[in-house]
Amino acid sequence: MNLAAALEPSHLELARGPLRVELDAGVRARIARCREFVLEVSGSGRAIYGVTTGFGPLVEFGGRPDGAGQSDNTIIHHIVGHGELMPPAVARAAVLARLFSLAQARSGVSEQVVTALIAMLGTEFAPAVPRLGSVGASGDLQPLAYVAHALRGNGNAFFQGRLMPAGEALDRAGLQKLELDGRDALALVNGVSVTAAALGLAVAQAIRARRSAELLSALMTDVLGCGTEFTSVGLLAAFGHPDVADTGAAIRTWLAGSSPSGERPLQEPYSIRCTPQLIGAAGTSVRHADEVVRRDLNGVSDNPLFFPETGEVVHGGNFFGQPSAFAADQLNVALVQLGNLAERQLDLLVDPRRTNGLPPMLSPAPGQHHALQGVQLCTTATVAAMRRAAVPASVQSLPTNLHNQDVVPFGTQAAFTALDQATHLRYLHAGLAIGLRQAVHVGARRPLAPKLAEAFDRIAEEVPPIVEDRPLDSALGQVADLLDVIVSEVESVS
């Protein structure tokens, strides 16, 4: 991966393991020139926030006279986060996002910092970062401070997935402790890179979730022998929403070669008949979040910014994560509605009154064995948890920081909620897929559409039929992974 290229949400997933990042000569030269400019300006006696001053509302006071001490203060006073730790993959994705912002050469960071982040990403090291602490207004100050803290050998870190003291993790990874001076520390923490990373990872999974919903809706239509009029090209074009038409096209492509059984009602329940409208609308929200987070990942979030070519030092608010906060909340709601759809589809599937006589809970011996009963209970609990978390974070503004940060976006919390919802949705889709596999075992027809039959066979190979009750927790995880693979292979079958 080259720092001169664009960073995409899917690239963030690559950071879960060792990742090679290249720093070409042009980027290196721009970083060096910006660093020189910062040193020139700060040496001239001109006031620069965070370099010659205190932080936040203490900007009215002078900072520490030495750059190393100023860097210490930047980081240490933010080491107060709490709550569960971010998964190592998310913390590493945040480092990748921060690296791309710094590589835009507007932050005045030293080249050694960029080099150290690149070296870290090439190993299995991950900073240990608490989830709670950022309001997403002056950047993700506290979580990014934990990143810098761990890279300096302080606090804790993960190596190969195991939590340990950061110094030990650095040694095991073959990394040197990071030394900071001048503006280095503030450049590391004063951006929305944690928010962008969490939202980017949520978007990458949400894109797959939309396609999984299309696949599973098509599979349900075929297995139950439903009519396909609801996917009509003319019908969906008349609705006027391109993403709805796109979902209809995807479902039609999956269903190619199928035919209705003639035993279903003229109009199916909305959980089948309205799938193009629901999934397509969710797709619109996913696409919007994708556009927003791409801008965050490839923009510069910091304050101030430095422009050596014009001699300007510009103080402003490019660390204010409002765009991603709004986009994450919108994505959150869309993911919950996709969860509602999966829950309703499973409910239909286990109900003998709506499946032309399939046994209750898809059990081959009702009463003696319970098949999908536990899966449905877990599905209900998961949807309830998703709904409870659907309250928007972006409108929860609370003044803080002596009213320096008098309005804040809480984008970090919004992004992590969206990522949580995307994770939950994977298991709802897996439960539905297991239900469809079991439905065929207890009497529903094998899918007639060749593409669906192939996908069904892959699911059936992963999950044997439920003849007698058995634990299905591991199977849920395996099928969730398989669905990701299947829809990633086709991306869009339309």
CA 216 – CA 186 distance, rounded (Å)? 47
- Residue of higher predicted confidence among 69 and 366: 366
Measured CA to CA, the distance from residue 56 to residue 67 in angstroms comes to 17
49 is catalytic: yes
In tens, the pLDDT along 87-126 reads: 999 999 999 999 999 999 999 999 999 999 999 999 999 9
Please give the distance of CA 456 from its chain centroid, rounded to a whole number: 27
Q: Please tell me the distance from the alpha carbon of residue 255 to that of residue 34, in angstroms, as a whole number.
A: 56
User: What is the mean pLDDT of the segment spanning 39-56?
Assistant: 83
Q: 49, 146, 270, 427: which one is catalytic? A: 49
- The mean-pLDDT minimum among 62-66, 286-290, 476-480 falls in 62-66
Instruction: Check whether 264 has a pLDDT greater than 80.
Output: yes
DSSP 127: E
CA–CA separation, 334 and 290 (whole Å): 13
Minimal CA–CA distance to 309: which of 98, 21, 36?
36
Q: What is the mean pLDDT of residues 77-94?
A: 95
User: In CATH, which of 1.20.870.10, 1.20.200.10, 3.30.590.20, 3.40.50.1220 is domain 205-309+316-490?
Assistant: 1.20.200.10
CA 468 and chain centroid, separation: 37
Rounded distance between C-alpha atoms, residue 156 and residue 130, angstroms:
11
141-194 pLDDT tens trace? 999 999 999 999 999 999 999 999 999 999 999 999 999 988 999 999 999 999
> Out of 11-20, 129-138, 415-424, which region has the weakest mean confidence (pLDDT)?
129-138
Confidence label for 56 from pLDDT (cuts 50, 70 and 90): confident
Q: What is the pLDDT of residues 334-345, one digit of tens each?
A: 999 999 999 999
Q: Which of 132-136, 340-344, 473-477 has the lowest mean pLDDT?
A: 132-136
Percent of the chain with pLDDT over 90: 84
Examine the pLDDT at 350 and tell me if it is beyond 70: yes
The per-type count for the chain, helices as H runs and strands as E runs, is 18, 7
The residue behind tokens 């919390």 is 413
pLDDT value at residue 493: 41
Average pLDDT, whole number, for the chain?
Answer: 94
Share of the chain above pLDDT 70, in %: 99
Residues 237, 240: Cα–Cα separation, whole Å: 6
What is the pLDDT averaged over residues 56-78? Answer: 81
Q: Is the pLDDT of residue 492 over 50?
A: no
Angle (CA) 69-27-297 rounded to 5° is: 80
C-beta of residue 479 within 8 angstroms of C-beta of residue 434: yes
Closest residue by Cα to residue 214 from 241, 258, 244, 237: 244
User: For the chain, which residues make up each domain, given as ranges?
Assistant: 9-191, 205-309+316-490
pLDDT of residue 48: 84
Which tens digit of pLDDT belongs to each residue from 431-469?
999 999 999 999 999 999 999 999 999 999 999 999 999
pLDDT at position 491 is 66
pLDDT greater than 90 at residue 58: no
Query: Into which CATH architecture does domain 9-191 fall?
Result: Orthogonal Bundle (1.10)
